[in-house]
Structure formats: structure tokens, C-alpha cells
Amino acid sequence: MGGDHGGAAASLAARVRHVEALLEQRGLVDPLELDRALEAFLARANPDNGARLVARAWVDPGFRARLLLDGNAAIGEVGVSMGGGLQEQRLKVVENTATTHNVVVCTLCSCYPVALLGPSPTWYKSEAYRSRVVRDPRSVLAEFGFALPDAVAITVWDASAETRYLVVPRRPEGTEGLDERALADLVTRDGLIGVAAV
């Protein structure tokens, strides 16, 4: 695990806020227009975006390989993005298997792929989750009602200002006859974070 939660990205964010305030003070930028742009972004940001990516990965092995290799490039094929902005975050996609389970956290704040998962849940931002899932992920997952066999290795990925993570959960057995849309309906935000099965 690792990640830079400060450094260049934090400095850039502070400079952006400063420039935005100056532009507003001088009447060059309408703060209401900025609010409208943010609201429009958030209206498009929801877990359905991530669910569509997972469903496509389940039915299309080529897309799955591209998604795991370069998440940012692959998500455009499904018509979604990380949300743009001055600095596009890197999307790292990790896949659960029969022997490996992935879970995502941001230990220092709450970095999270909002465009793909919608607003982050309260528990994701809580200090209890952020600290405990790193030390004892198996127990934390059990508290979510998701018990994994001891033989399954758990990897915890620490998101940062530069890199966001998305988990491709295991495809449920017995879903071979479902189309992509029906498969996407099975995927939850918690599954995309790695605290639930699909």
C-alpha cells in the first residue's frame, strides 16, 4: 500500500482554490456557474458507471484485459471517464479471484473514484474503517457480513490524490445466461470497493 495524499496534488488543489477565489472576486467567473458544473458532474457520478465496467469485463475478456492494464483508457470504451478536471486521476483496476480478494481504502482522507462510484459512503470516510481495514481486513469484511475463507489472500489498496482504485468482483455462479445490463444490475458500490460480494 502507499500513496501520496499531499505533495504536488495538494499544492495544486490549494493553488486552484486560490485562483478560483481571485477570479470570482474580479467578476471573471460566476460562482453559481461553477456550482452548476459541479452539480452536473455529480448527477452523472454514480455506481451504475462502475457496474457497467464490471459487467463488460465479465462478458468481454479483451475488455477485461484492457481494463486491468490501463483503466483510464478502457473506461472510455463504455462511455465513462474519471471526471476530468485539471488533473485526471489514474484508475487502477484490480480483480478478485478464487484465491485473492481486493479491498480499497484511503488511509489519510477519502480519495475515491466519485465519477465511477458516486459520492463516497460515510463509513468509507470514517477513521475506524480507514485505520482498521489496513490492520485487520478480514475482521472488517466480516463486520460487513462478508466472511472470506482463510485460504483467500486479502490485498488492501490505499487510494491517493493521484491514483483511485476499482475492484472487479468475482462473477456470481449461475449468471452465464444474463446479458450485460442484467449483470450490471447485480453489482453494488460496496462490491466495487471490495467490502461485499456480488
Cα separation, 100 vs 118, whole angstroms = 26
Whether residue 126 lies in the annotated active site: no
Q: According to the annotation, is 109 in a ligand binding site?
A: yes
CB-CB neighbours of 15 under 10 Å: 11
- Read off the C-alpha cell for 179: 446479458
> Which segments of 136-179 does DSSP mark as H helices, in order?
137-143
Q: According to the annotation, is 120 in a ligand binding site?
A: no
Q: According to the annotation, is 111 in a ligand binding site?
A: yes
DSSP conformation letters of 37-85: HHHHHHHH-SHHHHHHHHHHHHH-HHHHHHHHH-HHHHHGGGT--S--S
* Catalytic option among 81, 106, 120, 139: 106
* Catalytic option among 111, 120, 126, 139: 111
Whether residue 139 lies in the annotated active site: no
* Catalytic option among 109, 120, 131, 139: 109
Cα separation, 2 vs 95, whole angstroms = 18
* Residue 107 DSSP code: S
Question: 196, 188 in Cβ contact below 8 A?
Answer: yes
- Read off the C-alpha cell for 138: 478480514
Which residues does residue 158 pair with via DSSP β-bridges, in sequence order? 105
* Catalytic option among 11, 110, 126, 131: 110
Q: According to the annotation, is 139 in a ligand binding site?
A: no
**Burial (Cβ within 10 Å: 0-12, 13-18, ≥19) of residue 120:** middle
CA 82 to chain centroid = 9
Which residues make up each annotated binding site for Fe(3+)?
106, 109-111
Task: Give the residue numbers annotated as catalytic, written as ranges.
Answer: 106, 109-111
Which residues make up each annotated binding site?
106, 109-111
